Amino acid sequence: MLITELAKLCQAQVQGGNAEQEVSSAADIMSALAHQVTVLSDSKYKKYLKDTQATACFISVKLADEQIPDGLTLLICDDPEISFLDAVKLLHPEPAYTRQVSTQAVLAEQVELGEDVHIGPFVSIGAVTRIGAGATIDAGVRIGNHVSIGKYSRIHANAVIYDHCVIGDHVIIHAGAIIGADGFGYKFRNNQHIKVPHVGNVEIADFVEIGANTCIDRGALGATRIGAGSKIDNLVQLGHNNIVGRNVIICGQSGISGSCTIGDGAILAGSAGVADHVNIGSRAVIMARSGISADVEPGAQVFGSPAKDRKLAWRELAALSKLPELLQKFKNLETRVSDLEQ
């Protein structure tokens, strides 16, 4: 694609170099070569600009006063990160494959397929399930009975959706994710664990993305809910009856026990853990590997296990690093006091 054309499609103004050249792919600023387009959006990386071999670079006005290599065309724009994402999509389009309902898929009675759905081989879909228009169900997916999949959603290969779950529009569920398995609940009687029946479901709102091999359990009664626009990474465990708000970010390997509420815009960094019946306020940030056993205020930033205010936790860790020395000093001071006492 010509740089001029790319600039127009990505809301950028060309400056310098030869904008009538072709760019064929995108790369980061440390590795971009000729005929590639790159981006400089973070001043931390501006040292790489002067030596880049890229042919074009999305950049803000603010950073465009750096030393520019000869022949590099700047693509001046308001939001280089977003313009670059658009360029990546234009230069690396997803290949258009034939959309069809595989003859090797098994559909039970009363399955409703919207227009232009794609159903891969070895997909099985239970009774009374609806697949929205434009949805893509990849190979080997199992969708249970009485499920609803929204429009333009994509369920990647070998994911499993249990009965009665409701998936919104424009949802992405990655390979191997399991939506709607029974929650982990038992009552201990007469030396055995009696299973709590799980007759609820999982309801996932629009524009949610669910990572590979992530598990979201159904409610015991009622639903486990994921709000619109929330993004969940790989290998996350979301237990029964959690209510996750809108635009929440849950990073890889985090686990949320059950019956928790996670407020809108909250962020759980990698491997965070949340005990059951905990409320996490909106826009709270749970730092990586933290363990939450009590409610977290909206906007709070917490760290540690059990987690506390981030700055407090760091102050304690800093203090801990001085503790071995303190123990020694204390001994000395005790001796000095003993000497004084004599």
- Binders of a second copy among 87-116, rule CB under 8 A? 88-89, 92, 95, 97, 102, 104, 106
How many C-beta neighbours within 10 Å does residue 113 have?
A: 19
Q: Which is nearer to a second copy, 115 or 323 (CB)?
A: 323
Stretch that binds a second copy, among 2-10, 11-19, 65-73, 214-222 (CB under 8 A): 214-222
Whole-number Å distance between alpha carbons of 265 and 300: 12
* Residue 168 beta carbon to a second copy: minimum distance, rounded to whole angstroms: 14
**Backbone angles phi and psi of 214, in degrees to 5:** -75, 150
Q: What is the separation, in whole angstroms, between the first and last Cα of the chain?
A: 89
Number of residues in contact with a second copy, rule: CB under 8 A? 104
**Structural tokens at position 214:** 């992530």
Strand partners, 149: 131, 167
User: Counting contacts by CB under 8 A, is residue 217 touching a second copy?
Assistant: yes
User: Counting contacts by CB under 8 A, is residue 45 touching a second copy?
Assistant: no
Reduced to 3 states (helix: H, G, I; strand: E, B; else coil), residue 134 is coil
The catalytically annotated residue of 164, 170, 198, 240 is 240
9 to 28, contacts with a second copy by CB under 8 A? 26-28
From residue 268 to residue 307, the character string flagging contacts with a second copy as x (rule: CB under 8 A) and all else as - is --xx-x-x------------xx-x-x-----------xx-
Burial of 130 (0-12, 13-18, 19+ CB in 10 A): middle
Q: Are 110 and 145 within 8 A, CB to CB?
A: no
* Residue 149 beta carbon to a second copy: minimum distance, rounded to whole angstroms: 16
- Our answer to whether residue 35 is catalytic in this structure is no
Q: Which is nearer to a second copy, 20 or 336 (CB)?
A: 336
User: Counting contacts by CB under 8 A, is residue 139 touching a second copy?
Assistant: yes
Whole-number Å distance between alpha carbons of 24 and 198: 52
* Residue 141 beta carbon to a second copy: minimum distance, rounded to whole angstroms: 8
Enter the DSSP assignment of 220. Answer: S
Residues classed as catalytic: 240
